[in-house]
Amino acid sequence: MALKLFAALHARQPLLTRFGLLLLGCALLTACLQLVDARTFMGQPTWAKPTRFFLSIGVFALTAAWFIGDVQAPQRDSGLLRATAWALVVTGAYEAFYIAYRAAFAEASHFNFSTGWATLGYALMGVGAVVLVGTSLPIAWAVWRHPRPDLAPHCQLAVVIGLLLTVVLGGGLGGYMSSTGAHSVGATGSSLPITGWNRAGGDLRVAHFLGLHAEQILPAAAVVIGWVFARGRRIAVVACTGALAIATLAALAQAVGGRPIV
């Protein structure tokens, strides 16, 4: 099953598929390093953050590969989409491997102004993150303007809206976190396993997570909608969009208020 999925992804966009698989392999490696490297940083295993980012950016790349496959075949090889794919690879690689580089020395990658190099590295991460998330825009445009003939209208709508929400909510909240200088609000304490979210006070990363993964959540909801509803599918997609936006803003309000997610 997995091999068939990856073969389908490779047929849709080979570069992003290979890059995504590379990052998933790196996520597995850094997850294993947690078993042999007992060091911790800010209460978390040193290699926990690189694992999360390798996994997240890898899934982001594979998602982009899949959605490029929803574009008509002649348009998939357009200069715009080729440039988009390379922009994603370059910025995604920098983000993931810079975080791993800092983790190797048990140092912070985000909000690290301890040296000139650290400040520059963090600033480049900010620029890279904007470009990385922004790659969703040309893909959304291509899916909207040149959809594959057999792409269901409600799925097309979900893909386009999901990609746009990833930019607006995911990217916007990422920028907001950067401007505040921290992702925690109020008290800090123990953190949730895997995600690392603050359990003592507010954590802006919860809302950022929901916004960033809108591009997966809404298309997945569209698939379920297609199974359940014979009519009104696009209306159902719009309703799911509203629900996701409300949930994201509610998580933001909770974090700003200094209240933990659990």
Q: Are 45 and 62 in contact (CB under 8 A)?
A: no
Evaluate whether residue 262 is within a structural domain: yes
Residue-wise pLDDT tens digits, 20-44? 999 999 999 999 999 998 888 877 8
pLDDT score, position 68: 97
Is residue 163 located within the same domain as residue 131? no
pLDDT at residue 217 tops 90: yes
Structural domain including 247 reads 152-262
pLDDT of 37 reads 86
Q: What is the mean pLDDT of residues 215-228?
A: 96
Task: For residues 37 and 141, state if they share a domain.
Answer: yes
* pLDDT tens digits, 102-152: 999 888 888 888 888 989 998 999 999 999 999 999 999 999 999 999 999
Q: Write down which residue in 114, 129, 148 finishes a domain.
A: 148
Mean pLDDT computed over 62-76: 95
Rounded to the nearest integer, the mean pLDDT of the chain is 91
> What are the residues whose beta carbons fall under 8 Å from the beta carbon of 139, sequence distance 6 or more?
64, 67, 68, 71, 81, 84, 163
For 82, counting Cβ atoms within 10 Å of its Cβ (0-12 exposed, 13-18 middle, 19+ buried), the class is middle
Longest dimension (CA), the chain: 59
Task: Among 129, 148, 167, identify where a domain stops.
Answer: 148
Above pLDDT 70, what percent of the chain? 100
Query: What pLDDT score was predicted for residue 16?
Result: 97
Place of tokens 């209306």: 235
User: What number is the average pLDDT over the span 1-15?
Assistant: 88
- Please state, in angstroms and rounded to a whole number, the distance separating the CA atoms of residues 24 and 176: 28
Let me know whether 160 and 119 are in one domain: no
Is residue 16 domain-shared with residue 140, that is, in the same domain?
Answer: yes
Residue-level pLDDT at 81: 97
Residue 1 within any structural domain of the chain:
no
Rounded mean pLDDT, 206-224? 94
Residue 224, pLDDT above cutoff 80? yes
- In terms of Cα–Cα distance, which of 171, 249, 161 is closest to 212? 171
- The pLDDT confidence band at residue 5, using thresholds 50, 70 and 90, is confident
Write the CB contacts of 174 (distance below 8 Å, at least 6 apart in sequence): 129, 133, 208, 212
Task: Write down which residue in 98, 126, 148 finishes a domain.
Answer: 148
Segment 31-40 long-range contacts (CB within 8 Å, at least 24 positions apart): 39/106
CA–CA distances in Å: residue 118 to residues 40, 47, 114, 185: 20, 19, 6, 24
Residue 208 has pLDDT above 80, yes or no: yes
H/E segment holding residue 44: strand 44-45
- Give per-residue pLDDT as tens, 88-98: 999 999 999 99
Report whether pLDDT(194) > 80: no
Q: Is residue 258 predicted with pLDDT exceeding 90?
A: no
- pLDDT number for residue 144: 97
Q: In total, how many domains does the chain have?
A: 2
Q: What percent of the chain stands above pLDDT 90?
A: 67
Residues 163 and 127 reside in one and the same domain: no
Same domain, 129 and 179: no
Bridge partners (DSSP) of residue 71 are: 147
